[in-house]
Amino acid sequence: MGLGFFERLFGSSRGPSKKMAKERLQLVLIHDRTDITPELMDALRRDLIEVITRYMDVDEKNIELGMDRDEKEGQIALEASIPVLRLKRGSQIKAKPQA
Amino acid sequence: MSARIIVITSGKGGVGKTTTTANVSMALARQGKKVVVVDGDIGLRNLDVILGLENRIVYNLVDVIEGTCSLKQALIRDKRVDGLYLLPAAQTRTKDCVTSDQMKTLCEELSPDFDFIILDSPAGIESGFRNASAGATEALVITTPDVSAVRDADRIIGMLESMGKSSINLVVNRLRPHMVQNGDMLSVEDVLDILSVKLIGIVPEDDSVVVSSNRGEPLTLSAESPAATAFSNIARRILGEEVTFLDVANMNKGGLLQGLMRLFKRS
């Protein structure tokens, strides 16, 4: 056991820790700032489903929705996973509701 | 004379609000300004001790607000520097014994006689912070370069913005240049990226801060350490001067003297 053991333990092999600090902060602040309550998330989910189901039938119970950091780009993203059952035919697509 | 009213706050506790308040206020007074520092931490007062004026307290801010004494009776004139006055907090009361309106009135009462009213806010986001900020138009937010402090600073900045403060500036305190160089500490750029607020000061970690609080002698009274220079620079920037920021990337690890020399060359 020498100094090398401690170096490996505390991070020179894992790279500088400030990168992790910055990423964690950015993610945590997205939540803190927008104050995305569960109620808001539910409302967002319902609105999304309403729009999407105009174009396709989806498995509503298995939709996953969340904020995360995109591995490649490093950007914070709203990620949605929406299982599609079938696409509607052109004639079936309802017109947008009038504003 | 109408005073500039600045609150010094942070959200997180222990990041250097009181130290910054004491040192920046003293630096402003040394520049010839008439400054009153108000300790907003009712119940847990510390500004008196950091300034070394704890033995001279007779009346405090709550006495003034409750009408027990006049403002003049409560103000303590610092004998070491012309133009610096302290309005201490009460130690045996709690934060709910004053209201925001009373604090605003207090600031209005002080304003004609001073160039600056500097309010030392307590930690937190509750009434202590709100009362200390009530009368202020400007804010200095103190943070250290770590996850907890930056997160709390973000919240406090949001609250200051929604309170309509016209000027919100950031001080990054207790920076350790060698840790930043090794990638083990958030850099000032990282913190600015995250908080997106204007920077007004970078203060390096400095043992002399502990010594100064032991003695009750703020650094900007006479010392020439890196932190003293940094606090003085904050005062100069508050007065509108353009002062180059500490070059953290090129500060030597252990070479305090070399770091000092670079600072002096720059100013």
| Cβ neighbours of residue B120 closer than 8 Å, sequence gap 6 or more | B8, B17, B18, B21, B37, B38, B39, B40, B41, B47, B132
Give how far the C-alpha of residue A18 lies from the chain's centroid of Cα atoms, to the nearest Å. Answer: 23
How far, in Å, are A81, B9, B122, B129, B257 from residue B142 at the CA level? 41, 6, 12, 13, 26
How far, in Å, are A11, A87, B19 from residue B213 at the CA level? 35, 71, 8
Report whether pLDDT(A68) > 80. no
B147 touches chain A (CB under 8 A): yes
Give the percent of chain B with pLDDT over 90: 87
Interhelix angle B100-110/B127-134, nearest 10 degrees: 30
Report whether pLDDT(A14) > 80. no
Give the pLDDT score at B267: 45
CA B24/CA B249 separation, integer angstroms: 24
Report whether pLDDT(B79) > 70. yes
Of B155, B158, B190, which is closest to A18 when you measure between CB atoms? B190
How far, in Å, are B23, B171, B207 from residue B8 at the CA level? 12, 10, 22
A19 touches chain B (CB under 8 A): yes
Of B146, B155, B194, which is closest to A26 when you measure between CB atoms? B194
* B150 → chain A, closest CA residue: A25
pTM score, whole prediction: 0.79
Residues B22-75 have pLDDT tens digits of 999 999 999 999 999 999 999 999 999 999 999 999 999 999 999 999 999 999
B190 touches chain A (CB under 8 A): yes
Average pLDDT over residues A20-36: 84
Task: For residue A15, name the pLDDT band (cuts at 50, 70, 90).
Answer: confident
Task: For residue A90, name the pLDDT band (cuts at 50, 70, 90).
Answer: confident
Average pLDDT over residues A15-40: 83
Assess contact for A42 and A57: CB atoms under 8 A: no
**CB atoms B194 and A22 under 8 Å:** yes
Count of CB atoms situated within 10 Å of the CB of A41: 13
Report whether pLDDT(B142) > 80. yes
Count of CB atoms situated within 10 Å of the CB of B185: 23
| Cβ neighbours of residue B62 closer than 8 Å, sequence gap 6 or more | B42, B89, B90, B93, B97, B98
Of A11, A16, A29, which is closest to B154 when you measure between CB atoms? A29
Average pLDDT over residues B83-98: 94
Kind plus residue range of the DSSP H or E element containing A68: strand A64-69
Report whether pLDDT(B264) > 50. yes
Tell me how far apart the terminal alpha carbons of chain B are, to the nearest angstrom: 31
**CB atoms B154 and A17 under 8 Å:** no
- Looking at the complex, report in whole angstroms how far the Cα of residue A67 sits from the nearest Cα belonging to chain B: 17
Q: Which two tokens stand for residue B231?
A: 């606090």
Looking at residue A85, the DSSP 8-state letter turns out to be: E
Report whether pLDDT(B259) > 60. no
Computed over every residue of chain B, the mean pLDDT equals: 93
- Would you say how long chain A is, in residues? 99
Report whether pLDDT(A4) > 80. no
CA B60/CA B53 separation, integer angstroms: 13
A97 touches chain B (CB under 8 A): no
**CB atoms A25 and B155 under 8 Å:** no
CA A7/CA A9 separation, integer angstroms: 5
Computed over every residue of chain A, the mean pLDDT equals: 78
Report whether pLDDT(A98) > 90. no
Q: Which of A32-36, B238-242, B245-249 has the lowest average pLDDT?
A: A32-36
Instruction: Return the exposure string of A9-22: e unless at least 16 CB atoms fall within 10 Å of the residue's CB, then b.
Output: eeeeeeeebbeebb
Assess contact for A18 and B187: CB atoms under 8 A: yes
Report whether pLDDT(B110) > 70. yes
